[in-house]
Structure 1
Amino acid sequence: MDILFEPFFQRALIGGLLIGWMAPLIGTFLVLRRLSMIGDSLAHVSIAGVALGMLIGIYPLAVGLLFAVAASFAIERLRKAYKTYAELSIAIIMSGGVALATFLFTLGKGFNLNVTSYLFGSIMTLSSTDLWTIFAVSCAVTVFVLFLLKEMFLITFDEDAAHVAGLPVRRINLAVTVLTALVIGVAIKIVGALLVSALLTIPAATSLVLGKTFRYSLWLSVLLSEIAVLAGLLSAGIWNFAPGATIVLTLILMLILSLVFRVIRV
């Protein structure tokens, strides 16, 4: 257990716990609103931003964040244009993100190995700058959810009633999408773009199986996510597993156990 005292592992642990805290806070609302795939869409766009950052010599995570936020605005705009087929906005942005990332890969063949760490995650290489960026996003997500929990609850389950009540539904929806983009942008360094949506959706899916109320499910999803991050990182540190994959597999195991428990209880 000497690895616990290594600075790189301590940075990984702090970063993982911060992501494990904020991802389910946003992810629960996405799952309930049937927007689970938005994570994959924004992740692919973020990778395009990371590739551009490496190509022009700018902090890759910052460029990835900017790309993700820009994509979040585009998704909201397309959702308004295709009201009946809102899921088209996610598919269009995902396709564009993949195409742009592939194009940038061909322009910068020399940094492909570095981009791979963002595809599959490299939590053990988190820097102090990465940690501060993750911390800032975590604070923004926490403040937003705590102060607007009731409003988000109403919009999630009855958007028409929220309109009637005079809530700024459009602005809140946009804010949630932007915060999702920020979470995705900072999380790709931890679990990778290919797995990042799991942190948004699987804890929420598990808590909805076990939870009886909305608040209980929300905070249970955070607890499950933190347990998975801790278990995944410790396992990866001790047995040299891939950290991101271990975290996600732990989450999937929790989901399977919760489904089994519900069947047995019934």
Structure 2
Amino acid sequence: MEILTADFFLSALTGGLLIGLTAPLIGIFLVLRRLSMIGDTLAHVTIAGVALGLLINIYPIGVGLAFAVAASFAIEKLRKAYKGYAELSIAIIMSGGVALASLFFTLGMGYNTDVNSYLFGSIYTLDQVDLYVVGAITVIVIVAISLLFKEFFLLTFEEDAASVSGLPVKFLNMLITVLTALVISTAIKIVGALLVSALLTIPAATSLLLARSFKQSVVFSVVISEIAVVVGLVIAGIWNLAPGATIVLFLIAMLILTIIGKRGLSA
């Protein structure tokens, strides 16, 4: 139990709670817009940036963040080019991210261990710089959603109506994608690139089964995410398990219990 009061665990808890707040805030909009796979795409691109950062000895998360933001702009450009096939832009960018990551892995075979920590998460290694970056992005996401909540709501459910009403639809679409890139690029060190989309989608999926309104679903998704982060980290700390995997598995358990509970009530 001493691990729960250790400095590295408290840093991990702080970083986890911050990502547990921002990921579902963005994720609920992505899920409702049927863009859930964008999380995996940007995660793969971020890993390519991380690999390059390790290769040239520059702050990996910073390079990964730059790659993710650039990819978010590319996704929006391709979505406009293929309006009837929005998912095609996601597939193209994911392919490019995987290809670049593979190339940089080949060039830097000596840092495979470091790359693995970003693939599977290394929340216990968060330092002050990481926490500052996560904290800054948390502020950006909260401010953006607070100021533009109504606009994002209309964009999510009636994009055509949002355009007719004079809202800057292109800017709002780009902003959501960029915010997603920022969240994912910082979250990969916490739960890993292979699991990061779970923080975006599973809390949203669970909240949609429970909520009676959009605002409720936003609140519930954040609460569910934070519970999973705290419980997952405590379980991982006590039994020496992989923290990222434990958080995601607990999220899945909460989703399954919610589905079973809903079926029981409706039976």
TM range (shorter): over 0.9
CA shift, 1:242, in A, is 0.3
Q: Provide the residue aligned with 1:120 in structure 2.
A: 120
What's the CA shift string for 1:74-129, capped at 9, x where partnerless? 00000000000010000000011001000100000001110000000000000100
Counterpart-to-counterpart distance in 1, 2:49 and 2:118? 11
Q: Provide the residue aligned with 1:224 in structure 2.
A: 224
Specify the code of the residue in structure 1 equivalent to 2:122: S
Q: Provide the residue aligned with 2:45 in structure 1.
A: 45
Counterpart-to-counterpart distance in 2, 1:81 and 1:166? 22
User: Aligned residues, how many?
Assistant: 266
Helix, strand or coil: the match of 2:36? Answer: coil
Q: Provide the residue aligned with 1:89 in structure 2.
A: 89
Helix, strand or coil: the match of 1:188? Answer: helix
Specify the code of the residue in structure 2 equivalent to 1:167: L
Counterpart-to-counterpart distance in 1, 2:201 and 2:45? 19
Structure 2 gaps of 5+ residues are: none
CA shift, 1:3, in A, is 1.4
Q: Provide the residue aligned with 1:32 in structure 2.
A: 32
What's the CA shift string for 1:128-166, capped at 9, x where partnerless? 000000000000000011111111100100011111111
CA shift, 1:4, in A, is 2.2
Q: Provide the residue aligned with 1:179 in structure 2.
A: 179
Structure 1 gaps of 5+ residues are: none
- Extract structure 1 runs of 4+ deviating beyond 4 A: none
Counterpart-to-counterpart distance in 2, 1:222 and 1:21? 6
Counterpart-to-counterpart distance in 2, 1:45 and 1:39? 10
Q: Provide the residue aligned with 1:98 in structure 2.
A: 98
Q: Provide the residue aligned with 1:77 in structure 2.
A: 77
Q: Percent identity?
A: 68
Counterpart-to-counterpart distance in 2, 1:86 and 1:249? 30
Specify the code of the residue in structure 1 equivalent to 2:179: L
Task: Give the TM-score normalised by structure 2.
Answer: 0.99
